[in-house]
Structure 1
Amino acid sequence: MEKELSKLTTESRNPQSMNLSRLSSMEILQTINNEDKKVAGAVEKVLPTIDKAVTHIYDSFRKDGRLFYVGAGTSGRLGVIDASECPPTFMTPPHMVQTVMAGGENAFIKAVEGSEDNESQGALDLKEKGLTTNDVVVGITSSGRTPYPIGAVKYAKTIGAYTVSLSCNEQSEISLLADCPIEVIVGSEILTGSTRMKAATAHKMVLNMISTTVMVKMGKVYGNLMVDVHASNHKLMERAKRIIMEITDVTYGEAEKTLLLANNQVKPAIIMIKAGVTFEKATEAITQADGYVDGAILYAQKFK
C-alpha cells in the first residue's frame, strides 16, 4: 500500500514547498498562489476529453437520463456542490443531477472514516438509484484509486451506463475502467497529499464546465443569461426581471408584471413579450422548440 501511494503524483512532495513551515504568511500565500496558477493550464490540456463527456451527458439528458457524481470526502462534496446548484441555476428537477457520496449525506459536513474504502458499498449505493443505460456516472477521485467510486463505476458498466472518471494521476485505476477517463495532472500539492487544494480546485473547475456546458446545449441559457433561473428569493426575482429587461428592452414594471403572469418563469415571460402571446401559448412554444428561446419565439409568432 505504501509503495503504491508513493508512486502517485498527488502524494509526492512538492519541491516548491519543502520549507513551507519556515516561511512567512505572505511567502506561504505566494507559494500557494503560484501553484494554483498551474491548475487552469492542466485543465486546458484535457478539454477534448471533457468535451467527450459533455456530448454523452447531453445525449443522456435528451433521453431523460440522469447524471450521477460519485465520490468520497472532498471529491464527494464537490459533486454535491455542483449538483445542488443545478436546480436554482437552470431549473432542473432534483433527480436530473445527483451525487452519491461515501458515508451518505451526513458525510458532507463530517467525515465518515473508512467509508471510502468500501468498493461494494459504492456499487450498492448507486444500485439503489435504479441506474439505467440512459444514465451517466462520473467517478471522482483525486488519487484515481479510491474504492468507493471505483465500485460505482464497475457497477455502472455492468448496467451499460456510460462512465466518466475524474482523477489527477496518469493511468490511474479508475481511468482504466471508465469509458471517458479525465486525468487533470496538476502535480504535487503544496501540503503533501492534501488533495483538497489543487486537485480539488481542478475537479471543481471540470464539474462546473461539464454542468454549465450541458445546460447551455439544453437551451437553458440565452446569450450568457440564465433564462431558466429559478426565481425563488428576492435576489433571484430581481435577477429574473433584469434578464427579461435585457432581452426584451421593456421597463422594470413591464418585466415585473409579465414575470408574475408567467408564474415567475423567465423563459415564458420572454416569449410572451417577444411574440405577444399568452403564458399558455408561450409554454407550448417552448415545448415545441425543445426549450430553445429563439425557436420558441419563431414558433409563437407563427402560430399565435
Structure 2
Amino acid sequence: MPAWSTESPNTVFEGDNLAVLPTLPDASFTVIYLDPPFNTGRAQQRRTVTAVRTEAEGAIAGFQGRGYERIRGDLLRYDDRFDDYWEFLEPRLIEAWRLLADDGTLYLHLDYHEAHYAKVLLDALFGRASFLNEIIWAYDYGGKSKRRWPAKHDTILVYVKNPKGYHFDSDAVDREPYMAPGLVTAEKASRGKLPTDVWWHTIVTTTGREKTGYPTQKPEGVVRRMVQASSRQGDWVLDFFAGSGTTGAVAAALGRRFVLVDSNPDAIAVMRTRFALMPDVAFR
C-alpha cells in the first residue's frame, strides 16, 4: 500500500493511531482536533518518549522554568489515576505536534477529570507561549445532580505550533445572535457577534438530524468553529480519535481535506455509511 501524502485523497485509517501516526509526514496538518477517551481507566503499555516543545522565540521549558519530568512527577503525587491516562495520551500528543504545520493549531477536547492536569503538562511539553485558549463548551442535557453543581461543560485546550505565525481567521467563523439585540444597531444584530471562549451549543440529541448512533458523537457546530477559524480551504485536518467522523464531515463541507483514524470497528462502520456518497474518501 502506498504511503499517505498530502497528494492523497481524504483518508480513513482503521487501526491503532499510535501505529498509524508515524507513517504520516511531518507538518502536514493545519488543524488537529482530538477528542480522546476522557480517562481510559486501565493501564497502558509504557513507551519511552522525549519531551518536545516549539522552537518559536519566547517558548519556555516548563512551568516556572521547571523540567517536564518534575512537573509530571508533581502531578502524579496528587492523582495516581493520571499516570495511566498520560501514558496513553502523551506519545500520541507528541506525534500530533510533529504532524502539525508551522501555522497550525491543536485542539484537545477533554472534560473536568483531566483538563487541568493536561493544561499544566501541555505547557511543559510544548511551551507556555504556544497556549492560545481554553474554550468552554457549555450544554444543558444529561443528569442534574442535587448534591453538587451539575457538570455541564467540556474543556477544549488550544495550542499553536508557532505563537508568532499561526493562522486564525475570526471573520470566517459562524456568528452568534446577540443576547440583547436591542442594544446594538440593526446591522450588528443581523450579522451577529463573534463567539468568545465560551460556546453554548446543544449536544447531538437522540432525534437530531446529525445523529449517527455513535455514543460519543460531537455536534458539527462545535467542530466547525475550530476548522473555520484555524484553516483555509484546501488545508488538511487530522482527527485520530475519529469516532463517528464528524471532523471529516465538517472539513469536507468547508472545502478542507481530512485524515481520520480509529481502531473501533463500529466507528469505521459509521464512517463508511456517513461518507458513502462522498467520492474521494479512501479507507485503509
TM-score by length of 2: 0.30
Higher strand share: 2
Higher helix share: 1
Bigger relative contact order, structure 1 or 2 (CA pairs below 8 A, ≥6 apart)? 2
